[in-house]
């Protein structure tokens, strides 16, 4: 269960509140286990378990709604309330979008090359950019990754220390880095044939101050980190430098590890790049 793994990480890093994660995780594991162990012919019991799940899911959403309303009261710059897809489905949206674009380009290969797939404000430069990564090379590459870019520097968060990876690479030390925008884009295209979808956001002066304040707060939770110069074995059997090492030396990168906060440990399904960008 995602909630149980997140609870273990929060407890390890002494993050509170965390009891809600334990409660939700235990309830979901109980309902899931009960459903699997019950007789396949007992449809009444199966429907009871399904009804209990949806009831508890609704109660959980109402509870989270009250907590979310409290957060909005603390910070009126937070995004508006929206209902999101399940994590597994949302993570695959970038890959699906890439497939649609590739299909469109193939079907219109004979048309002029300067096809516009987006809209921008004329004569306006975005103060903040959001980069969404995806690729068709593997399942892990297809799962979307999110960066933000501010004042020409990309800000990214992830599990970039191979020596700390556990749970099949889904958990590890949380690493935050800042690097040059153009060099970073070149590295992404060269490293894993990624496609980046870029979205510009127009910020008011008040919003810019809030972004600068949040970045300063994040840095206060970290210490500088220098990635190892040792080469590792890649998936194709070759030796190469780690991705973090390339960020440091090929993109003018500055890397940091969190010493406290929920971002100290990275988990691909909860404390991930999207959660950091959303702060």
Q: Do 150 and 127 form a contact (C-beta atoms < 8 A)?
A: yes
102 has a pLDDT exceeding 70: no
**Could you give the residue ranges of the DSSP H alpha helices within the chain?**
2-12, 19-37, 43-74, 87-91, 93-107, 139-142, 181-192, 205-220, 243-250, 273-278
User: Which two tokens mark 186?
Assistant: 């070149």
Other Cβ atoms closer than 10 A to 159: 22
Mean pLDDT of the chain: 80
Tokens of 247: 């960020």
CB 252 within 8 A of CB 177: no
**Whole-number pLDDT of residue 213:** 94
Q: Are residues 69 and 163 in the same domain?
A: no
Q: Is the pLDDT of residue 45 over 80?
A: no
Final residue in a domain of this structure, among 15, 47, 74: 74
* Same domain membership, residue 271 and residue 136: yes
Answer yes or no: do 69 and 126 share one domain.
no
> Do both 35 and 171 map to the same domain?
no
- All residues at 6 or more sequence positions from 5 whose CB lies less than 8 Å from its CB, including other chains: 167, 171, 267, 269, 270
For the stretch 143-196, pLDDT in tens is 678 899 999 999 999 999 999 999 988 999 999 999 999 999 999 888 877 788
For 50-98, how does the pLDDT look when each residue is reduced to its tens digit (9 = 90+)? 788 788 777 777 776 666 555 545 554 444 444 455 555 555 666 566 5
Say yes or no: 137 and 269 in one domain: yes
Note whether 236 and 164 are within 8 A (CB): no
Query: Would 255 be classed as within a structural domain?
Result: yes
**Are 102 and 198 in the same domain?**
yes
Q: Confirm whether 267 is domain-assigned.
A: yes
Rank 103-117, 228-242, 250-264 by mean pLDDT and report only the highest.
Answer: 250-264
Domain count, the chain: 2
Q: 49: domain range?
A: 2-74
**Residues 176 and 243 reside in one and the same domain:** yes
User: What is the rounded CA–CA span in Å between residue 106 and residue 123?
Assistant: 31
* Residue-level pLDDT at 266: 95
Average pLDDT over residues 129-141: 73
Specify whether 238 is located in the same domain as 260: yes
- Does residue 39 surpass a pLDDT of 70? no
Q: Which of 23-27, 56-60, 124-128, 183-187 has the lowest mean pLDDT?
A: 56-60
| Three-state secondary structure call for residue 256 | strand
Q: Are 175 and 161 in contact (CB under 8 A)?
A: yes
In a domain, 79, yes or no: no
pLDDT (mean) for 131-140: 70
pTM across the whole model: 0.76
């Amino acid at each position: 269960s995602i909630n149980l793994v997140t609870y273990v990480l929060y407890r390890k890093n002494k993050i509170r509140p965390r009891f809600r994660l334990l409660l939700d995780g235990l309830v979901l594991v109980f309902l899931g286990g009960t459903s699997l162990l019950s007789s396949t012919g007992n449809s009444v019991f199966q429907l009871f378990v399904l009804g209990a799940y949806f009831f508890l899911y609704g109660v959980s959403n109402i509870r989270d709604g009250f907590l979310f309303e409290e957060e909005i009261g603390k910070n009126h710059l937070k995004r508006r309330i929206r209902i999101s897809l399940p994590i597994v489905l949302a993570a695959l949206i970038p890959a699906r979008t890439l497939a649609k674009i590739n299909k469109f380009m193939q079907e219109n290969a004979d048309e002029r090359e300067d096809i516009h797939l987006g809209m921008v404000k004329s004569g306006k430069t975005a103060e903040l950019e959001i980069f969404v990564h995806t690729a068709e090379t593997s399942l892990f590459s297809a799962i979307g990754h999110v960066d933000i870019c501010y004042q020409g520097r990309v800000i990214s968060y992830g599990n970039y220390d191979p020596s700390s990876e556990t749970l099949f690479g889904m958990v590890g030390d949380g690493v935050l880095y800042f690097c040059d925008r153009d060099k970073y884009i070149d590295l992404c295209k060269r490293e894993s044939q990624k496609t980046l979808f870029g979205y510009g956001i127009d910020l008011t002066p008040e919003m810019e101050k809030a972004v600068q304040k949040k970045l300063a707060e994040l840095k206060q939770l970290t210490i500088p980190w220098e990635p190892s110069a040792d080469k590792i074995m890649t998936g194709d059997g070759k030796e190469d430098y780690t991705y973090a090492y390339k960020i440091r030396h090929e993109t003018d990168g500055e890397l940091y590890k969190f010493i406290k906060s929920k971002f100290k440990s990275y988990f691909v399904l909860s404390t991930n790049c999207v959660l950091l960008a959303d702060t």
